[in-house]
Structure 1
Amino acid sequence: MKKVVTAFDLLASVVEMSGLAGNKLENVYRTGAGFLFKFAGGYISATKYRISLTSVIPEKTHEGAETLRGLFRDDRLAEVVMPRFDRIAELVFGSGKIIVELLEPFNMVAVRDGKVVWLLHSYRGKDRVISPGAMYAYPPAVFVDVLKADVDELQKAIDPGDLRRSLIRRLGTGPELADELIVRAGTSPRAIAEEFKALVEKVRLGKIEPTVCVKDGVPITVMPIKPLSLKCDEYKQFNAFWEALDFYFAPMELESAAIQTTQELAQRRKRLEASIRELENKIPEYREEAAKLKTLAHKLLMYKLEIEEALKGMETSIRVVNVDATRIKIELPEGEQVELRKGVSIGKQISQLFDEAKELEEKAQKAAQVLEKLKKDLSKLDEEQRRAEEKLKSSVKIATKKSWFEKFHWTVTTGRKPVIGGRDASQNEVVVKKYLKEHYLFFHADIPGASAVVAPPSEDPLELLQIAQFAAAYSKAWKIGIHAVDVYYVKGVQVTKQPPSGQYLARGSFMIYGKREYVRNVRLELAVGCRKDGEAYRVVAAPPKSAHLLAEKYVVVTPGNKEKGKLGKELAQEWGGCAVEDVVAALPGPSRVSEEGRGSPLPWDEVERIFATW
């Protein structure tokens, strides 16, 4: 069963990740199995199993990713490269690069100007040293590089007498691809070299057949091509290789995260089980020893007079076997030999035997009580571990491909009109330049520092109020605690980036010509909610009147004193499914919840159709 991607797999993954080139790195998270990179256009997962695009968003934290985030956040991904045909990939940014080594041991290294500025693990070996501040050096190249070599060079590396071994050791194919090449090309080194080169070129061009091979109901490998060398019960095929990698490796990553998350519980369990085993062995020993002492005490009590007479030298059924300074050994009529203490009366010794037996019985009883408690503790621990694992599994989210409007603030009115607004000055520019048609309406809170909101034309006063509410909410008025603000709107033809002669317009600023229409004293309130579409969860925001069209569960918020990070976390936990960071991003600023609600949201494909009319 494959436990890590091969160089061939990694090549296909690198080609797919290259599609994110030009995207900003928005965040970096630590997960139980590795790291998660959030780009404007998607996610990349880097674990000891793979590095690839992903839609699986496991439980994540900022802890442990602070330095990487500080180094590369808001930097644009320039390219994703594979420096040679090996299990090494690089995320290249304008300011440096992150090198992922899927070798043993798994490592990640951040490099700027050739120097290591962050790393997951320091490494010191015969071949190289990886440490903070040192110049980064790749692992020694031990294979002929198919990415640079021609067919003749590849052919020379293939031993006709030991095809499989030479493919693995000289060309770095690994056993899986070596077998595949031999099945596809036969035993001719030339044909194998040509097939190898052809497969690599196909993968480079994205001409792949992502496949997971399933045997006896268990996935045993994943490849960017449909394998001919493997006999599979099922060939599960995917549209993209990263989808196949998600299907194959996500369960392993989840298991790895579960082991790490429940490590402390596992140690406690180990200690409990050791204590239980010890008591389970001790209790029978205590009881057995107590029974022996009681039996002996009863026998000595039965023969007490005869023993006393025998010790005085009289003739009885008791035979004195041996006498030394401290002990007297006697033989009972049954033939059993017993040692008695010299100088201590028989009655006292019998009483002490009963006392010792009683102590052992009490020990056994107490041990049994402790054992019962430990078993209950173990049962509770099992339940705690099960809940922890379930929580980890339930925390896994599926990141869906976002529709074009989701990168902006967006909503839908009760009249089902689409509305978008910029999240920052840069997006305000995009919204106006790309989406504000001449006859569309431009809304803006009458205060510096607000979202540029755009919507199709409308004369319905209720719709105009809803759009104005949306524009007012995403303005500086919310952050400074104002509860009402005027909002103006004009036609798109009245908005321009051309300033009057001799003046300059800052980024995200516009000139408005002609008459402005106003919606006065717009109350600052916004509905923020959560919806589920198949396996995907989405956070939505809307004017309170239209919230039921977009969210299953929502709250109406107004400016308040609870930080949006804290409120966002509380709401995400209460709703379940929606990501904390998405809830926080939807909240305009410090807020308080004024009411809660439930809705019957429009199907997502209907929402997309509404925005398709743009």
Structure 2
Amino acid sequence: MKEEMSSVDIRYIVQELKEEIVGARVDKVYHEGNEVRIKLHKAGEGRKDLIIEAGKRIHLTSYIKESPQPSSFAMLLRKHLSGSFVDGIEQHDFDRIVKIRIGKFTIIAELFRRGNVILVDENNTIIGAIRYEEFKDRAIKPKLEYKYPPARENPLEVSWDRFVELIKGEDTEIVRALARKLNMGGLYAEEILLRAGIDKKKNVKKLSEDELKVIYEKMKEVFNSPKKPNIVYKEGKMIDVVPIELKWYEGYERVYFETFSQALDEYFGKLTIEKAKEERTRKLEEKKKQLMATLERQERMIKGFEEEARKNQEIGDLIYANYTIIDGILREFSKAVEKFGWNEFKKRLEEGKKQGNKIALLVKNVNPEEDSITIELEGRKIKLYLNRSINDNAELYYEKAKKAKHKLEGAKKAYEELKRKLEQIEKEIEEEEKKIQVKKIEKRKKKWFEKFRWFISSEGFLVIGGKDATTNEIVVRKYMQENDIYCHADIWGAPHVIIKDGQKASERTIFEACQFAVSMSRAWSEGLYSGDAYWVYPEQVKKQAPSGEFLPKGAFMVYGKRNWMHGIPLKLAVGVVKYEGEELVMCGPVDAVKAHTDKYIVIRPGDVKKSELVKRIQKILEKWGYKVPEEDIMAVLPPGEGEIVEVVE
């Protein structure tokens, strides 16, 4: 089973993470053991958690550990990185090393062997690390320059001549030569040779130039394969997670994912939970194992006692069912033994068998030492003591059946007690598993408009607005159409607000959109209680600046008549509304929210920190039966501090 990412995996995940995390803001950093988790927020996309496990993996995760008291390394990372933005991420050469640039600093994730996570400054000087260590050619210690491990060959950049030189310099199987010399690991060496149709065990000295050319071409093909992330299963168990379709795994069950991060997260997330369960319940599982073994032995004993009781009871009954025959055998045989002795009796018995005597043929064994004979009746062997009566013989079997039943009762009681103990152990295991501090954040797939500021007007029109320069640009350029209405607050940096299909709306919706534009602007964070806004038609909004002027990103010019609304109060409401089959937390003008839900919270500019305001709103929503993540509430609220002025239930 795979336990760490390969250089190939890292190449693909880094390409993916460039799209996912570059431009995201660092909210908080957590550290425990070998793991560092960076909680990020990306405008228009919300929360993203990046997990780095030294020596093993790096990807976005939804499996979140409840972190203990922050470590000194976590505090160091928070001090230097919180509030900064991710500027870039790259793989160092083709090694299992990833560099993440955040502001003036860089996190270096070493994902080979024991691994490490190191923070360096703009001069590549080490500020801190998970662990400090020394090697023969470098050291990980504060104030020292960070040095990379000795470089290894990059199969993506290796020339044909260099490839031949590397491979021909070996005297081993081609699969080993590829894995060692070109830093790709065994799996991808096998895949390349499988696609090339060349025996992996063939010695490199016996390879022709044509065969080497095919291997070289297939190597380039594999490492430039289109991304198709999947988890590979064998007999229902995960055995690998890979970024591309591998011929090597043809015939195996495979589950595909939209992103490599999702595949890695599902794979390593489940491993993390399984390991956490194993660590927390190891002793209890040992007890359970012992109890189950004892329980199995007890089950076998119960079956044995049941069989013994049944068998002896049936033999006792069989003796009485054949009373005349058995009584006659006991009387006649005891007299014969008394008269002739056992040796003569046995001789006469054998002669009787030869002559076909029915009674003699019933006898299967003679035991002079026990003064007994064994006969067979109705397929049952019955031992009879010649010195006892038929009643005494039958009673012997009934007594054995009675003792077996008594033992059976005791065994059943012991079995029930073991079952009770096993159930108790299983409950304890279940309770311990509940304490495992790893939970999976189930992220709802957001609707397209949730990357912007938005609300549904009281008349049912969708209104969207930008959150920053980038989303402002997108709102106007991509989503504004000729039948919409454009609204803007009379303050610099206010969001561009669009009423979709707004030319069919009444003045009521237009007023709500203008109130939204004012409330979502800097006017809120400045503590203003009212502001002005205007609306125009889409054709009046252009990216064309007056001569000699320049329009920055997110800025547009409005030409022609503006339809003004003055003295609009900055007041919004928060509630959970049903829209397109889903329940969504919405923040918008009070009349708009009121039109779609009976319960809502009215807010206005105030002096309560936004994070605290979010928690208060979350508690009220929870009381109403809605479990809304903090980040979802944070995403819809206006910028800056505020206060709750009314709760309508």
TM-score, with normalisation over the residues of structure 1?
Answer: 0.64
Residues 1:388 and 2:390 aligned together: no
Alignment of 1:395-434 (within 5 A): 395-398=440-443, 400=445, 403=448, 405-424=449-468, 428=472, 431=475
Q: Is the 8 A contact 1:528 1:557 kept in 2?
A: no
Q: CA deviation at 1:469?
A: 3.3
Q: Is the 8 A contact 1:528 1:587 kept in 2?
A: no
Q: CA deviation at 1:215?
A: 1.3
Residues 1:517 and 2:564 aligned together: yes
Partner in structure 2 of residue 592 of structure 1: 644
Q: CA deviation at 1:528?
A: 4.6
C-alpha distance 462-257 of structure 1, shift in aligned 2 (>3 A):
farther
Q: Is the 8 A contact 1:528 1:586 kept in 2?
A: no
Distance 1:17 1:50 in 2: 17
Partner in structure 1 of residue 89 of structure 2: 80
Counterpart of 2:573, as a letter, is L
Distance 1:481 1:119 in 2: 43
Residues 1:583 and 2:592 aligned together: no
Counterpart of 1:396, as a letter, is I
Partner in structure 2 of residue 124 of structure 1: 134
> What are structure 2's unaligned runs of at least 5 residues?
288-421
SS of match in other structure, 1:8 = helix
Distance 2:165 2:553 in 1: 60
Q: CA deviation at 1:202?
A: 3.9
SS of match in other structure, 1:398 = coil
Partner in structure 2 of residue 99 of structure 1: 108
Distance 1:549 1:3 in 2: 53
Identity across matched positions, percent: 27
SS of match in other structure, 2:188 = helix
Q: CA deviation at 1:71?
A: 4.4
Q: CA deviation at 1:252?
A: 2.2
Distance 1:96 1:523 in 2: 40
Choose the corresponding residue for 1:179, options 177, 190, 204: 190
Counterpart of 2:110, as a letter, is E
Q: Is the 8 A contact 2:55 2:114 kept in 1?
A: no
C-alpha distance 153-438 of structure 1, shift in aligned 2 (>3 A):
same
Distance 1:596 1:160 in 2: 80
Residues 1:568 and 2:608 aligned together: no
Distance 2:28 2:159 in 1: 39
Distance 1:423 1:392 in 2: 32
C-alpha distance 396-476 of structure 1, shift in aligned 2 (>3 A):
same
Q: Is the 8 A contact 2:572 2:588 kept in 1?
A: no
Residues 1:455 and 2:502 aligned together: no
SS of match in other structure, 1:140 = coil
Q: Is the 8 A contact 1:485 1:520 kept in 2?
A: yes
Counterpart of 2:140, as a letter, is I
Partner in structure 2 of residue 235 of structure 1: 254
Partner in structure 1 of residue 62 of structure 2: 56
SS of match in other structure, 1:423 = coil
Distance 1:116 1:551 in 2: 54
Count of residue pairs brought into register by the alignment: 486
Counterpart of 2:186, as a letter, is P
Residues 1:213 and 2:232 aligned together: yes
SS of match in other structure, 2:435 = helix
TM-score, with normalisation over the residues of structure 2?
Answer: 0.61
Structure label with greater radius of gyration: 2
Q: Is the 8 A contact 1:537 1:578 kept in 2?
A: no
C-alpha distance 493-171 of structure 1, shift in aligned 2 (>3 A):
closer
C-alpha distance 380-485 of structure 1, shift in aligned 2 (>3 A):
farther
C-alpha distance 104-578 of structure 1, shift in aligned 2 (>3 A):
farther
Alignment of 1:257-272 (within 5 A): none
Partner in structure 1 of residue 271 of structure 2: 252
Q: CA deviation at 1:248?
A: 1.5
User: How far does the alpha carbon of each residue in 1:49-101 deviate from its partner, in whole angstroms, 9 at most, with x for none?
Assistant: 75555362635779565554564567665553322332212234674533211
Distance 1:431 1:461 in 2: 22
Distance 1:130 1:166 in 2: 31
Q: CA deviation at 1:18?
A: 3.5
Distance 1:43 1:464 in 2: 38
Choose the corresponding residue for 2:514, options 468, 472, 489: 468
Distance 2:599 2:113 in 1: 47
Partner in structure 2 of residue 443 of structure 1: 487
SS of match in other structure, 2:4 = coil
User: How far does the alpha carbon of each residue in 1:363-411 deviate from its partner, in whole angstroms, 9 at most, with x for none?
Assistant: xxxxxxxxxxxx9x9999867644333x742x523374773x4332122
User: How far does the alpha carbon of each residue in 1:300-319 deviate from its partner, in whole angstroms, 9 at most, with x for none?
Assistant: xxxxxxxxxxxxxxxxxxxx
Q: Is the 8 A contact 1:445 1:472 kept in 2?
A: yes
Partner in structure 2 of residue 293 of structure 1: none
Partner in structure 2 of residue 36 of structure 1: 38
Residues 1:114 and 2:135 aligned together: no
Q: CA deviation at 1:214?
A: 0.6
Q: CA deviation at 1:526?
A: 2.1
Query: How large is the Cα RMSD of the aligned pairs?
Result: 4.8
Q: CA deviation at 1:208?
A: 3.6
Q: Is the 8 A contact 2:55 2:112 kept in 1?
A: no
Q: Is the 8 A contact 2:576 2:597 kept in 1?
A: yes
Q: CA deviation at 1:129?
A: 0.5
Q: Is the 8 A contact 2:63 2:265 kept in 1?
A: no
SS of match in other structure, 1:3 = coil
Q: Is the 8 A contact 2:535 2:562 kept in 1?
A: no
Q: CA deviation at 1:16?
A: 2.3
